[in-house]
A and B are shown apart, each in its own frame.
Chain A
Amino acid sequence: MRTDEGRIGPARRIALALIALGVALGMVACGGDSGIEGSEAESDVETAEAQGEASGDLFVSNWPFYIDRKTVPAFEKKTGISVKYVEDVNDNTAFFGKVQPLLERGEAGGRDIMVVTDWMAKKMYDLGYLQNFDKEAVGPALDNLIPALQSPSFDPERNYSLPWQSGMTGLVVNTAMAPDVTSINDLFDPKYKGKVEMLTEMRDTVPLVMKASGVNPEDATEEDWMAAIDKIEQAAASGQIRRFTGNDYTRDLANGDAVAVIGWSGDAVQLQADNPDIEFVMPDEGCMLWSDNMVIPVGAPNPAAAYEWMNYAYEPANQAQITNYNYYVSPVSGVKEILEKQGSDAAKSDLVFPPEEYTADCSTVDTPPGGPEAEQRVERAFQSVITG
């Protein structure tokens, strides 16, 4: 057959181009994950019962940089459960915005475990989005929980939340550029104008500013929250604060765009690897303490496997593996001894095993007082400042 290539009709040429585009896009689409499967809604389930032997699939949603590479395969090998471990939690509010429509329908997008900060766990629980634990099934894990975390105010009996890791919010400082930053108040020093940053997580940033003004966030009123937000607003408007960030303050510190920020303890250790000048500084007035908790959402397909995962992570030897990677505060007792035996630096770090006097002035992250409407007012004021 003889074809004259120079004379393909325009219609056919467009068709060929479209086919080529379709094939290219199709290849991209097939390369992606097949997506999240929805699960059947369970109506009014109070407790996630562990039925029978744990087996099948497990879907865990967690924050990035929270687990080493060996834990998941080791768990799969030991239990025969196949794990889908997804790092899709970057920010409590944004994650909530994403899963809330599913949870409202009694589904969790196939998730068995989600990891969220204390206040968010409580918020989800109050909205009926979480299930209570089967205390018998999660018993081994609860036995290993350190006493300090056994009865937090939001869930005094650990009915629906179990810490994954804990940590501190304080100052992360480039000590070569800003050697004298030791208090949150120093962030308002004109000397550092345009070189300081604060977190978009309201419950980290605002209480720290309150503490610096001598207000205890644990019994602060709505006016105290608003006063602190006003103070932040003025600093933002004058250009004292360069910007409000999530985890990406690490980039600005590394670039030299920021010299002192409000940040998280584990990040500081990871930044130190590249720049030894960057340090976590405990503010004079103390830090904020928080935990990120494993919770079981409504509609979780495989609670039995979820409990198996919790119990596995709470075995001190397995936990030591995780802590040695992420350098956050471990909620499991007996980890320090194991890390000491292994000669790990983590065993010596105040950030991983904070001595009592180190965190003496610290407060627990909590939500503004006065119920959901007051909380919404404070949230609105803060959001208005960070999108000023």
Chain B
Amino acid sequence: MTSPKGRDRSAPRGALRRRAIPYFLLGPGLIWLLLFFVVPLYFMGRLSLESGSLETGGFEFTWEWSNYGHALGDYQDRFVRSFFFAGSATVIALLIAYPLAYAIAFRGGRWKNALLFAVVAPFFTTYLIRTLAWQTILSDDSPVVSTMQTLGLLGDGGRLLATDGAVIAGLTYNFLPFMVLPIYASLERIDVRLIEAARDLYSSARTAFWRVTLPLSAPGVVAGTLLTFIPASGDYINAEFLGGTNQAMIGNVIQSLYLNLRDFPSAAALSFTLMAVILIAVFIYIRFAGSEALMGEEAEKAK
């Protein structure tokens, strides 16, 4: 960043106006965030410290920190499970998405747009319907299951639906485009001459990939993993329809607390805890991945 001080003295009014412009531009976004993020967050925070119940005269604000203790204590296993499911889905999605994005970006040719469209196409059907379709595809009497049983990939009494695998597969499928698109965007921007230069300098194709392509696409990978992991951790649709008795995720617990038990404080406390854990995990991840990976070349140039 360059300091605007020099211009200040020469044209104070113009500079004032110019300095105000960014705030005007930020305005709509800030107002939106304030109304639909900060205000609800405040109310949720307040709610998470209330006690009482609907049947016994409603809720009262009492600084009830024990809601958080209960949230962590009672549902620890489901927290662990949520992050395990979301983490597995993220890793699998990355393994599928990277080669796919690479192929589209470098080998797509004139099919690029059609291929990108194919990645986004499932989004034209609602999330719920897509997940319900998987329920049918994976059901016990489906051709998929009987084929796998014939091939010996699945035991005779084995099943796909209502298992950990089904939930992870569902999450992977539903969030795959969020992984593909950012990776594609960062691969697409890579100057091919850099890779050619690496080859000219006698690097093997593999070394060129590891030393040039992969680091340059890191921002896409970081963005993609975050866009997959964060919503997947709080998801409940996949566990609801593809899971069974031992696959409930933290989202299912929050839903049941909120709608079925109407224990709004515990649901709010659990939501906050989930947010905090994700925030910490993401923070560590970004520190680990390096901020230049997230900010891309801009951060590198600034050095």
Complexed CA–CA distance, A243 and B157 (Å): 17
In the bound assembly, the distance between CA atoms of A255 and B141 in angstroms comes to: 7
Convert B74-103 into 0s and 1s, putting 1 for each residue whose CB lies closer than 8 angstroms to a CB of A: 100010000000000000000000000000
* B258 in contact with A97 (CB, 8 Å): yes
Contacts of A383 in B (CB 8 A): 256-257, 260-261
**Per-residue 0/1 for B110-145: is the Cβ within 8 Å of any A Cβ (1 yes, 0 no)?**
000000000000000000000000011001110000
Among the interface residues B53, B245, B257, which one has the most CB atoms of the partner chain A within 10 A? B245
Stretch with Cβ within 8 A of B (4 or more), from A14-22, A31-39, A338-346, A374-382: A374-382
Q: Which of B74, B162, B252 sits near A242, CB closer than 8 Å?
A: B162
Q: Distance in Å from the Cβ of B52 to the closest Cβ of chain A?
A: 11
A88 to B187, CA, bound (A): 48
Q: Does A214 contact B (CB under 8 A)?
A: no
Q: Is A225 among interface residues, defined by CB-CB distance under 8 A?
A: no
The CA of A244 and the CA of B257, in the complex, are separated in Å by 16
Assess whether A64 is interfacial by the CB under 8 Å rule. Answer: no
Q: Which residues from 236 to 282 on chain B have a C-beta closer than 8 Å to any C-beta of chain A?
A: 243-246, 248, 252-253, 256-263
Q: A194-B162, A236-B246, A255-B136 are in contact. Are A100 and B54 (CB under 8 A)?
A: yes
Say yes or no: A256 contacts B141, CB within 8 Å: yes
B residues near A241, Cβ cutoff 8 Å: 244-245
Contacts of A256 in B (CB 8 A): 139-141
Q: What residues on A are CB-neighbors of B55 within 8 Å?
A: 123, 127, 372-373, 375-376
Partner of B245, one of A93, A94, A100, A239: A239
Q: Does B150 lie at the interface of the complex (its beta carbon under 8 Å from any beta carbon of A)?
A: no
Q: Which residues of B contact A97 (CB under 8 A)?
A: 258-260, 262
By a CB distance below 8 angstroms, the chain B residues around A255 are 135-136, 139-141
Nearest residue, chain B, Cβ from A232: B245
Chain A interface size range: 20 to 34
Q: B141 to A194, Cβ gap below 8 A?
A: no
- Let me know if B262 and A100 touch, CB within 8 A: yes
CA distance A96 to B135 in the complex (A): 28
Q: How far is the CA of A14 from the CA of B14 in the complex (A)?
A: 30
Contact of A237 among B56, B74, B245 (CB under 8 A): B245
A positions within 8 Å CB-CB of B: 93-94, 96-97, 100, 123, 127, 193-194, 200, 236-237, 239, 241-244, 251, 255-257, 372-373, 375-376, 379-380, 383-384, 386-388
Residue pairs across A and B with Cβ atoms less than 8 A apart, 16 shown, are: A94-B259, A97-B260, A194-B157, A236-B245, A241-B244, A241-B245, A242-B244, A243-B244, A251-B135, A256-B141, A372-B53, A373-B53, A379-B260, A380-B263, A383-B260, A388-B248
Q: Which B positions have Cβ atoms within 8 angstroms of A?
A: 53-56, 74, 78, 135-136, 139-141, 157, 159, 161-162, 243-246, 248, 252-253, 256-263
Pairs A-B, 5 closest by C-beta atoms: A372-B55, A256-B141, A236-B245, A97-B259, A387-B248
Other A-B pairs, 9, CB within 8 Å; known A257-B141, A387-B253: A97-B262, A123-B55, A236-B245, A243-B162, A251-B135, A255-B141, A257-B161, A257-B162, A372-B56
